[in-house]
Amino acid sequence: MEAAVDFLRAIVTSDVAAGKNDGRVVTRFPPEPNGHLHIGHSKAISIDFGIAAEFGGRCNLRFDDTNPEREEIEYVEGIMGDVRWLGCDWGESLFYASDYFEQLYRWAEAIIRKGKAYICDLTADEVREYRGTLTEPGRESPYRGRSVEENLELFRGMRAGEYPDGARTLRAKIDMAAPNLNLRDPVMYRIRRATHHRTGDAWCIYPSYDWAHGQSDAIEGVTHSLCSLEFEDHRPLYDWFLDQIELPHGRPRQIEFARLNLTYTVMSKRKLRALVEEGHVGGWDDPRMPTLSGLRRRGYPPEAIRLFLERIGVAKRNSTVDIRLLDDTVREYLNSRTSRVMAVLKPVRLVIDNLPEGEVEWIEVANNPEDPAAGLRNVPFTRVLYVERDDYRDPPPKGYFRLYPGNEVRLRGAYLVRCTHATSDSEGNPIEIHCTYDPASKGTAAEIGRKVKATLHWVSAEHSLEGEVRLYDHLFTVSDPEDEGHGGDFRSCVNPASLEALTGCRLEPSLSGAAPGARYQFERMGYFCVDSRDSRPGRLVFNRTVTLRDTWAKIEKARQGK
């Protein structure tokens, strides 16, 4: 399939062809350091860095740190780590909007001198009243007519800290009757005595987003300022401000695209923060979180995330992508590159009655049938094994191919075994399954002239390691937790079963040295990764990244549904 060119790349292509900005392409990723990045941001990252790279340009990482009250250094470090993890390189181009405070201030004075901005003494509440409504024009501030000299003096006073917080603002003088509310004399500076994570107490006035953003783009020579749809209304203001200053480089152009939404999760910093602070999850890096740190800990490879982003494309339509597309992409990516290993999550003993006690056969198995280069390993085959509890049913449901009295199945990499009987508890749960094996049954169906319908994973009881395995499900029980239509807010549909921690799992011995972050496919179960926080040698903890496709589970589920 030929990858279709999205509208952003089409625009950049034609700008370059038209010789705009001498054919340079400079983008920027402008996070506010007030939270951790999530997969939604990775769409922007992938677009910003991806387009720059494709056009031989550069992408700046710029922290939009114009609001000292909620920004912290901890977040800038986390964000840099996340961007790097995604494989994006900003080289020397690490910037902070706060680096431009002095330049911004000088430009603001120049705008005042042109009579295009004024100091307003209205309170926040009054500003809101004067702004008018969606359908009614606003009224002009009584301070709108101040002289340039007075404005300049007051503005300097604001900078010098002569007025209390919130007492005055610098406002652009545009049009209080503009149908676009952003043009009704927007605030450029507010007084806020807060210690900034970079400039400390050097400033007590801070520029607003609208005033800082486009000018920062201009300072950095950004050519294409790509942002999300909600800033469409701000574009006329972005352009207005650009018109007021002497452009140091070319003229940046803002273009908007639709942000990413995913089913069964939330994507707003506010809500993610609430999940963390209210203890619904273990932290920003909880493997159930859509944060990049959560996805990383869960075992999602950054390459798979980027592949996913390529698949969903970019457009201007608000959309919510089915999270199964992400799952599928991760599976596809991991399939060819992950070693197979056997791990029994919910173990039950299986005794091979015709195999002598104490006998051990080290069976050679492929690490990855999809990749011969992955090599071979040996797994011990003994009289007493563990198999998955789900792999025994008596009586067997229709279409069940696994263990039940009389049935024969394959033990992966090893022999065919026929179930003879099983002991069970009062509830009917198997305690110990008994089988006999056929020593002549190693080999393919063609080789041994016999076919069975199921192959089971197993581990030697004696040799296996004990470990913990954490199974994850969607964080929310509904596909659109943002939709509060059905009672309660997003908190009320947090999935109580989103984490299932299994202890007493049995792992094949080759896993003994598994390093934090290492990924494996547990045969028939899914892709798992060693937890980077809680796993210890001798006390391994695995996170399930994603399950394998499970046709049987689908059949059973469909049956239950009926």
Residues 451-510 within binding reach of RNA (CB under 7 A): 451, 453-456
User: How far is it, in rounded angstroms, from Cα 66 to Cα 125?
Assistant: 22
Q: What residues pair up with 95 in beta bridges, in sequence order? A: 62
User: Using CB under 7 A, which of the segments 109-117, 229-237, 491-499, 531-539 binds RNA?
Assistant: 229-237
Q: How far is the CB of 353 from RNA (least distance, A)?
A: 21
Q: Which residue, 152 or 194, is less far from RNA as judged by CB?
A: 194
Which positions are annotated as active-site residues? 32, 259, 269
Out of 331, 383, 470, 474, the residue judged to bind RNA by CB under 7 A: 331
Instruction: For residue 523, give the 3-state DSSP assignment.
Output: coil
Q: What's the sign of the alpha-carbon dihedral 275, 279, 284, 287? A: negative
- Answer yes or no whether residue 340 interacts with RNA by CB under 7 A: yes
Buried b (16+ CB within 10 A) or exposed e, 206-234: bbbbbbbbbbbbbbbbbbbbbbeeebeeb
Of 110, 325, 374, 502, the residue at the interface with RNA (CB under 7 A) is 325
Q: Residue 561 Cβ, how far from RNA at the closest point, in Å?
A: 11
Is 146 an interacting residue with respect to RNA (CB under 7 A)?
Answer: no
Pick out residues in 247-306 that bind RNA (CB under 7 A).
258
Q: Residue 264: left if φ>0, alpha if ψ -120 to 50, beta else—which one?
A: left
Q: How far is the CB of 230 from RNA (least distance, A)?
A: 4
d(Cα 70, Cα 209) in Å, to the nearest integer? 14
> Which of 73, 94, 124, 247 touches RNA (CB under 7 A)?
124
Query: With binding defined as CB under 7 A, does residue 54 bind RNA?
Result: no
Contact code string over 368-407 relative to RNA, x by CB under 7 A: xxx----------------------------xxxx-----
Q: Give 202's DSSP letter.
A: S
**For residue 287, which of 467, 524, 541, 548 has the smallest C-alpha distance?**
541
The DSSP H or E segment spanning 270 is helix 269-277
Quick check: 422 and 405 in contact, CB under 8 A? yes
Q: Which is nearer to RNA, 135 or 426 (CB)?
A: 135
Q: How far is 103 from 96, CA to CA, in rounded Å? A: 13
Nearer to RNA by C-beta: 223 or 441?
Answer: 441
19-27, 286-294, 346-354, 519-527 -> range binding RNA (CB under 7 A)? 519-527
Q: Which is nearer to RNA, 315 or 360 (CB)?
A: 315
CB of 126 to RNA, least distance (A): 7
Provide CB contacts within 8 A for 492, sequence distance 6+.
Answer: none
Among 200, 496, 551, 561, binds RNA (CB under 7 A): 551
Could you say whether residue 193 binds RNA (CB under 7 A)? Answer: no
Between 183 and 514, CB nearer to RNA: 183
Residue 440 interacting with RNA (CB under 7 A): no
Task: Please name the helix (run of DSSP H) or strand (run of DSSP E) that holds residue 272, with its range, or none.
Answer: helix 269-277
Residue number, 275 or 546, with CB nearest to RNA? 546
Total interface residues for RNA by CB under 7 A: 97
Cα(237)–Cα(214) distance, integer angstroms:
9
Query: Which stretch in 79-87, 364-372, 494-502, 508-516 sits in contact with RNA by CB under 7 A?
Result: 364-372
Neighbours of 57 (CB within 10 A): 19
CB of 91 to RNA, least distance (A): 22
CA–CA distance, 186 with 211 (Å, rounded to integer):
9
Q: Does 217 engage in binding with RNA (CB under 7 A)?
A: no
**Min dist. Cβ of residue 88 to RNA (A):** 19
With contacts defined by CB under 7 A, name the span among 296-304, 363-371, 430-438, 493-501 that binds RNA: 363-371
24 or 222, CB closer to RNA? 222
Binder among 123, 268, 354, 492 for RNA (CB under 7 A): 123
Query: By three-state DSSP, how is residue 174 classified?
Result: coil
Six-digit token string for 239: 């352009």
Give the 3-state secondary structure percentages of the chain, helix then strand then coil, rounded to 5. Answer: 35, 25, 40
Is residue 153 classed as helix, strand or coil in its secondary structure? helix
Q: Which of 93, 335, 424, 477 binds RNA (CB under 7 A)?
A: 335
Residue whose CB is less far from RNA, 367 or 498: 367
Q: How many CB atoms lie within 10 A of CB 406?
A: 11
Residue 73 touches RNA, criterion: CB under 7 A? no
Strand 384-388 and strand 465-472: the pairing is unpaired
Tell the residue number behind the tokens 């950054």, with chain if given.
302
Q: How far apart are CA 483 and CA 467, in angstroms?
A: 39
CB of 264 to RNA, least distance (A): 12
Q: To the nearest whole angstrom, how small is the minimum distance from the Cβ of residue 538 to RNA?
A: 26
Of the residues 73, 229, 431, 497, which one makes contact with RNA according to CB under 7 A: 229
Nearer Cβ to RNA, position 3 or 426?
Answer: 3
Confirm or reject binding of residue 66 to RNA (CB under 7 A). yes
> In the complex, what is the shortest distance from the CB of residue 174 to RNA, in angstroms, rounded to a whole number?
13
Per CB under 7 A, the list member of 231, 333, 458, 528 interacting with RNA is: 231
Nearer to RNA, 209 or 516 (CB): 209
Beta strands in 259-404 (DSSP E): 339-341, 343-344, 347-352, 361-366, 376-381, 384-388
